[in-house]
Amino acid sequence: MFKSVKGKKVNKERVYFPGYIMIKANLIGEIPHIIKSVTNVIGFLGETKGGEPVPLRTSEVNRMLGKVDELTLTTDHIAIPFNSGENVKVIDGPFNGFNGTIEKVNEEKRKIEVMVKIFGRKTPLELSYMQVEKL
């Protein structure tokens, strides 16, 4: 992402999942222990605290990498029923179950920006139209 500072373009990285590191690894043998022993690593996200890590679905990985998944190709010609200011619930992805308010609707990218309260702080999420439903 480029940001203009004093008339000059400055490259600025945007953090989408602050506090998280995504790793592609085969979790066998000593690998989980090595990862957990890295400084400031608390543990893995999983179904239970201290349990086995749960791998991301392929659609979640593609969405995170900015790839076009099959759902957006098939829904390209459908009118999008969301407007700024509407309250929605996230129904897919790592923030499943969170409620938020639509801040922006980007028709070109076919994405919406939803402001979600996470750990008491409002956090913007860029989501596909297929990942939310109206409340």
pLDDT higher for 14 or 77?
14
pLDDT band at 78 (very low <50, low <70, confident <90, very high): low
Looking at residues 91-102, what average pLDDT do you find? 91
What's the rounded Cα separation, in Å, for the pair 133 and 83? 12
Cβ atoms of 131 and 90 within 8 Å: the answer is yes
And the tokens for 31? 């690998």
Look at 3-7, 82-86, 104-108 and tell me which has the smallest mean pLDDT: 3-7
And the tokens for 126? 């860029």
pLDDT > 60? residue 91? yes
> What confidence tens digit (pLDDT) does each residue in 63-74 have?
777 765 454 455
Nearest CA-CA partner of 123 in 104, 100, 105: 100
Cβ atoms of 44 and 91 within 8 Å: the answer is no
The pLDDT assigned to 103 comes to: 94
Domain 77-135 = CATH 2.30.30.30: yes
Looking at residues 99-107, what average pLDDT do you find? 91
